[in-house]
Amino acid sequence: MLGKTQHFTEERSVEAVLERNAGCTDERLREIMSVLVPHLHAIVKELRLTPEEWLAAIQFLTRTGQISSDRRQEFILLSDCLGVSMLVDAINSRKIDEVTPSTVLGPFYVDGAPHLPMGAMIAHHGRGEPLFVLGRVSDEHGLPLENVELDVWQTSEDGFYDTQDDSQPDMNLRGVFSTGSDGDFWFRSIVPASYPIPSDGPVGDMLKALGRHPMRPAHIHFILRCAGYDTLTTHIFIDGDPYLDSDAVFGVKDSLITPLRDPTTEERRLYSLPEGCQCLSLDFRLQKEALNPMTGARTVAGLNGAPT
């Protein structure tokens, strides 16, 4: 005679769900669920979650999905503001001391920014304080790297990305540059501003309820890609910004803070810089793929409709 079925109860809720998941053939997904389910059930039990609170959480996540689009990712914003994005980055981007640290991607990255010639202007809306960005990309030993692709994006002087502001042209303050044989790069832009993350959605409501401000310090985003090296996703923060110590998404690292400076006489002459232009000097160092223990890390193939 078959044994009596062990149905779901409060006491054996975890066992009931894990038994039901036992047929999963995706090893990584099975591992994730074996950790997620016990923690999730423990939270519900510890808090004695009410049906009203459960429904409020469901509605919050529903709104988070509904407001997301190809121009705005509210789930990334939620992850950012809970510190999850930076924790995932910290675990998966352990680097040697000699290379540039990474930070969060942010919710306003847009793939397909235009490839521009060295020295091009990425600000096309005719406003803002002029900025000249120059620097070098090298390996962990300081040797220059050629053909490094730098994907750059930032806000306007008003603190808005082009995807948030209909008055800006498409792909404003975005561009992709490639280093030469000396590893050098330079381009023209405007000084970025500190700005609030979008507060008109569920994440903004969450921050208000928690008594937190939504501000991010002024920064420029970079993704650096080079064959044989780890892709680097990072920011450069402007020194002196009042929100460096309270970034809403926890993205600031000391080594990513850089001061603005006046251009030298030679820079003014060589690059024909306008009066009042500020300079930002950068030094990026990339880590070889073989040096990163997380390269080739496990992935879940069965989610998002992908075949296992």
CATH number assigned to the domain comprising residue 273? 2.60.130.10
Assess whether pLDDT exceeds 50 at residue 290: yes
Q: What is the tens place of the pLDDT at every residue in 134-165?
A: 999 999 999 999 999 999 999 999 999 999 98
Both 95 and 152 in one domain: the answer is yes
pLDDT band at 240 (very low <50, low <70, confident <90, very high): very high
* DSSP three-state, residue 235: strand
Q: Is residue 65 part of a domain?
A: no
What angle do the packed helices 27-47 and 13-20 form, to 10 degrees?
160
What is the distance between the alpha carbons of residues 25 and 32, in angstroms, rounded to a whole number?
13
Assess whether pLDDT exceeds 80 at residue 299: no
Q: Number of folded domains in the chain?
A: 2
What is the distance between the alpha carbons of residues 196 and 192, in angstroms, rounded to a whole number?
13
264: tokens are 């030298």
State the residue range of the domain holding 187: 84-291
- Token look-up 């930076």 returns 86
* DSSP three-state, residue 266: helix
Both 32 and 164 in one domain: the answer is no
Nearest to 156 by CA among 144, 169, 141: 169
What is the distance between the alpha carbons of residues 253 and 8, in angstroms, rounded to a whole number?
46
Q: What is the tens place of the pLDDT at every residue in 25-81?
A: 999 999 999 999 999 999 999 999 999 999 999 999 999 999 999 888 999 999 999
Both 20 and 120 in one domain: the answer is no
Both 25 and 137 in one domain: the answer is no
- Contact (Cβ atoms closer than 8 angstroms) between residue 211 and residue 171: no
Both 259 and 168 in one domain: the answer is yes
Query: Exposed (0-12), middle (13-18) or buried (19+): which is 7, by Cβ within 10 Å?
Result: exposed
Both 31 and 180 in one domain: the answer is no
Assess whether pLDDT exceeds 60 at residue 295: no
Query: Exposed (0-12), middle (13-18) or buried (19+): which is 238, by Cβ within 10 Å?
Result: buried
